[in-house]
């Protein structure tokens, strides 16, 4: 979301207030957990945080930026094509 994850928590708080069909957060599982723990301490519920696809993208073992881009694009296509 932000360079070096410096403002991820702030940006995610703003996005959680919006009604959006897809909300994703890029980052390692540890970074996602850390950010979610901070938000829980600020009063966000597990239900709030379940709106966030994190780490972003389909789990295809991506390591390179190009593969991560493909996995994110695939996830967006999945969301677009699924009605639930």
pTM of this structure: 0.82
Mention the CATH class of domain 3-81: alpha beta
pLDDT tens-digit readout, 60-78? 998 898 999 999 999 999 9
Phi then psi dihedrals of residue 23, to 5 deg? -140, 120
- Residue 84 confidence (pLDDT): 64
Spans of all domains in the chain:
3-81
Q: Is 77 helix (H, G, I), strand (E, B) or coil?
A: helix
Q: Which is more confidently placed, 8 or 16?
A: 16
Report the C-alpha gap between 14 and 66 in whole angstroms. 28
Q: Does residue 9 register a pLDDT over 80?
A: yes
């Amino acid at each position: 979301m932000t360079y070096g994850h410096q403002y991820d928590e702030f940006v995610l708080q703003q996005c959680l207030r919006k009604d959006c069909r897809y909300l994703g957060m890029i980052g390692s599982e540890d970074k996602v957990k850390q950010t979610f723990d901070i938000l829980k301490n600020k009063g966000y519920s597990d239900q709030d945080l379940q709106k966030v696809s994190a780490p972003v993208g389909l789990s295809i073992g991506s390591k390179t930026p190009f593969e991560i881009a493909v996995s994110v694009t695939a996830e967006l296509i999945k969301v677009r094509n699924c009605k639930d």
